[in-house]
Amino acid sequence: MKTLRPTLLAAVLLALALLPGGLHAQDVGTASLADLRTAAEAGDIAAQLTLAARYHDGAGVIQNFAQAAAWYARAAEANDAEAQNRLGQYYHVGLGVPADRAAALRWLSAAAEQGAPQHLFDLAAVLEMDTDNPAALARAAALYERAAEAGHTNAAVSLGVMVQNGTGVAQDYARAKALYEGPAAAGNARAQNNLGLLYVRGTGVPQDYDRAAALLAAAAEQGLATALTNLGVMYENGFGVPQDDARAAALYRQGGAGTQAAQAGAGFVYDPRLAPPPSDQDGIATLRADAQTGDPVAEFQLGWMLVHLEGPSPADWRAAATLFNAAANKGHAAAMANLGLLYMQGRGLPQDYVLAQMWLALAGSGGLKAALPLSAALQARMTPDQINESQALAETLWRGGKQP
């Protein structure tokens, strides 16, 4: 059974500062790209942060971490903590900039010195990865403690893991339990999972399978893959729950497939602006005729119908890929997203995460909201170099370059 460790890259909320002579805070969110760029070039930190965030999210522009990093760097040099923290994360992962641990720690430390709990947490999470460096681990524990004292729930849980394992700090199961209890009661799934495991093992607490099962079930209900697997162990062995091999197998499938499902997304995307495709023979014949004339809506709908056949053949997948490709190159966002999914799955096309991400990024920038979670999920399966390459290709195609 697994104790769940922290996820490094937490979401960053951008607090937009106001500089004299720049855009007002209420204006930066609605400013045009040109106005933002003018203000950002003039040194307006609010504009720099907003421009960076747009490139980071792909909001109205092609997602481009290199462009985002450049604008975060401008604001970071002006001592903006949010920009310093984001830039440090970029250097740590190697998104938009070359991976550089020293630069990552420099910028993350600069942000953390300004005291925001999230920035303390982010620096600690990077330091904790240096498992062979006792000084780094001790510093990580101290940072987690500062953030936890300021009310950062995940920092308390992460500190609990270090205390439980005796990493960078003295091992103390009772203290780990105390650190988990508050977040678990507040509904933190990671804390519920970890506290449940203490009760399973009887470490720092009397062994209590009933309490453990309840905690693991609460975490599993939130979809936490690790908790689903751990709860499966409970059902397989009848610990705190009735012994049930079928239930255990189902939980194992959920735990193993939960991550895969999140990565693969919810399946192929339909254009929300369109009525459903025709189901009668005459309507389908008309659709085919329209697709042959190059109508992107007909190409998209015909491709959609092919991927939703019962058991599509390899020829069906290839035909769908051709149709989605044709519509995508005419600017149809839903076709772009589905073409990206075909590249991701290797159906009808050779599997290629870079091209999959390129098309999903273009679809998201084209206004298709459903493409954004698909793009984010795929990025979790890609290397930083692959992500950077996909964004460069998307930028080229967006600017009228030749399709790769």
Q: What is the C-alpha to C-alpha distance for residues 346 and 353, in angstroms, rounded to an integer?
A: 9
Average pLDDT over residues 369-386: 89
Residue 6 has pLDDT above 50, yes or no: no
pLDDT at 212: 95
Domains in the chain, start-ordered, CATH in brackets?
A: 1-114 (1.25.40.10), 281-398 (1.25.40.10)
Q: Which two tokens stand for residue 95?
A: 């998104």
- Cα dist from 120 to 108, 186, 276, 334, 354, whole Å: 8, 21, 50, 40, 33
Minimum mean pLDDT among 12-21, 195-204, 363-372: which range? 12-21
**Amino acid 60: pLDDT:** 80
Tens of pLDDT, residues 309-339? 888 889 999 999 999 999 999 999 999 999 9
Cβ atoms of 255 and 229 closer than 8 Å: yes
pLDDT surpasses 90 at 399: no
Burial zone of 100 (CB within 10 Å; 0-12 exposed, 13-18 middle, 19+ buried): middle
26-70 pLDDT per residue, tens: 455 567 888 999 999 999 999 999 999 999 988 888 889 999 999
Interacting residues of 310 by C-beta distance below 8 A, sequence separation 6+: none
| Each residue's pLDDT tens digit, 161-212 | 999 999 999 999 999 999 999 999 999 999 999 999 999 999 889 999 999 9
Average pLDDT over residues 350-356: 93
Task: Give the confidence band of 260 by pLDDT, cuts at 50, 70, 90.
Answer: very low
The confidence score (pLDDT) of residue 23 equals 42
